[in-house]
Amino acid sequence: MILFYPEFSQLDFIEQAHESDYVFDILAEPLSGGLPWDENKYYNDFSSLKVFVVAANRDALNDANFEPLPKNLNRLVEITPTQKVIDVLTIKDYVVPKVLELYVLSTRSKFYNHFVGQYSN
């Protein structure tokens, strides 16, 4: 599993997670000590964190060339604190890349609206 922090162009690789684990419990380990590049400490506040996967729109899934899709053909799906890894893996229209990719953002950051806006129609 990969946790992407697009605001900082950083990532954490989670080597082991069980499908019955809660996604937000998995986040606790890398975020518990703070992130060295999060100068404002926005990511220390779990209540402000949003986690997403990028799912393809149904029409885009029918394209047989398997090229990366432009952002306007994808949509963000928010992961809630009560969702387990298995819930994420079974999201409709979510095609799991080689590893599960989760995007972690803080709503306290100005970057949040910028990132989410890239996926709005």
Residues of the chain with pLDDT > 90, as a percent, come to 50
The closest alpha carbon to 75, from 88, 102, 56, belongs to 56
The pair of structure tokens assigned to 68 is 């990366």
Give the three-class secondary structure for 102. Answer: strand
Q: Between residues 34 and 95, which one has the greater pLDDT?
A: 34
> Which domain does 43 fall in, by range?
2-117
CATH number of the CATH domain containing 81: 3.10.20.90
The closest alpha carbon to 56, from 96, 85, 19, 88, belongs to 96
The pLDDT value recorded for residue 103 is: 95
Provide the domain count of the chain.
Answer: 1
Q: Would you say the pTM of this structure is higher than 0.95?
A: no
DSSP 42: G
